[in-house]
């Protein structure tokens, strides 16, 4: 039976299950970082909501590996526009709450690095991290968290080849190391799964939730909108993760 509410009783029930869980998987998307000043991508008002860039190019083409290889100025122009439209991200209460759960594993689509900054230890960054730029020629890595003032396209200080963000662009394969870590974590198993702030359109994001639901493992979704996994979660909490998570994790035992 699915409980689709955010009542005090529901929150208490989820909090009780979380206190009893020994291995918890938190799957997060852009929604958890909204309170950090970052936009969502596919949700209402998200970066990709209009379907095309300011230049009229479909986002999935402009931000693809193929475009970066053939017309890097187009990809970088859009990456920098996105960076300029957002404030400098900061860790929020949702990130800190997850980091306080002992032994938790975080599978995140986010490339902002905020889970690690909050103190989470076991973080699978399945789409990479924007904090590193990688030379497409010599392989040199450069730490750069603020893209707003970068030239278009930025170039390697060693060989003058175009740099790329160390993230997964559209049409590119996921990093094998992170996939291996995810497979190993799923093989060990979890006794509670949260999906937070993600539309769950990618199979590797939706499947851990669906599998847990089929096995009778408690599943919780925190999202203001319906998603691809809303139909199968046991508890659906509608609201802001940064507001809800601290209460769920810190809630004392109540009769």
Cα 111 from Cα 128, distance rounded (Å): 6
3-class DSSP assignment, residue 170: strand
Contact 187, 180 (CB under 8 A): no
Q: Which two tokens stand for residue 67?
A: 């475009």
Cα 58–Cα 64–Cα 65 angle in degrees, nearest 5: 160
Whether 140 is catalytic:
no
3-class DSSP assignment, residue 221: strand
Cα 163 from Cα 23, distance rounded (Å): 39
Quote helix, strand, coil % in the chain, to nearest 5.
35, 20, 45
Catalytic-labelled residue, pool 95, 115, 127, 140: 127
Cα 49 from Cα 28, distance rounded (Å): 19
Tell me, what DSSP letter sits at residue 46?
-
3-class DSSP assignment, residue 13: helix
Contact 30, 41 (CB under 8 A): yes
Bridge partners, 24 (sequence order):
192
Place of tokens 């997964």: 168
Enumerate the active-site residues: 127
């Amino acid at each position: 039976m699915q409980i689709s509410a955010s009542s005090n009783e529901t929150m208490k029930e989820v909090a009780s299950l979380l206190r009893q869980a020994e291995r918890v998987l938190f799957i997060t998307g852009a929604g958890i970082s909204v309170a950090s000043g970052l936009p969502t991508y596919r949700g209402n008002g998200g970066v990709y909501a209009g379907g095309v860039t300011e230049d009229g190019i479909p986002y999935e083409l402009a931000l693809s590996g193929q475009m970066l290889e053939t017309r890097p100025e187009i990809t970088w122009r859009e990456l920098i526009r996105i960076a300029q439209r957002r404030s400098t991200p900061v860790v929020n209460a949702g990130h800190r709450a997850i980091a306080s759960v002992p032994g938790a594993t975080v599978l995140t689509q986010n490339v902002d690095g905020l889970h690690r900054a909050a103190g989470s230890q076991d973080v699978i960054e399945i789409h990479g991290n924007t904090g590193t730029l990688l030379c497409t020629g010599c392989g040199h890595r450069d730490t750069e968290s603020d893209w707003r003032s970068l030239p278009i396209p930025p170039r390697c200080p060693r060989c003058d080849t175009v740099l790329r963000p160390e993230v997964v662009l559209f049409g590119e394969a996921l990093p094998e190391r992170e996939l291996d870590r995810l497979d190993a974590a799923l093989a060990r198993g979890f006794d509670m799964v949260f999906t937070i702030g993600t539309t769950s359109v990618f199979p590797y994001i939706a499947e851990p939730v669906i599998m847990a639901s089929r096995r009778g493992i408690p599943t919780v979704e925190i999202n203001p909108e319906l998603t691809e996994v809303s139909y199968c979660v046991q508890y659906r909490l509608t609201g802001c993760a940064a507001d809800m998570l601290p209460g769920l994790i810190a809630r004392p035992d109540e009769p």
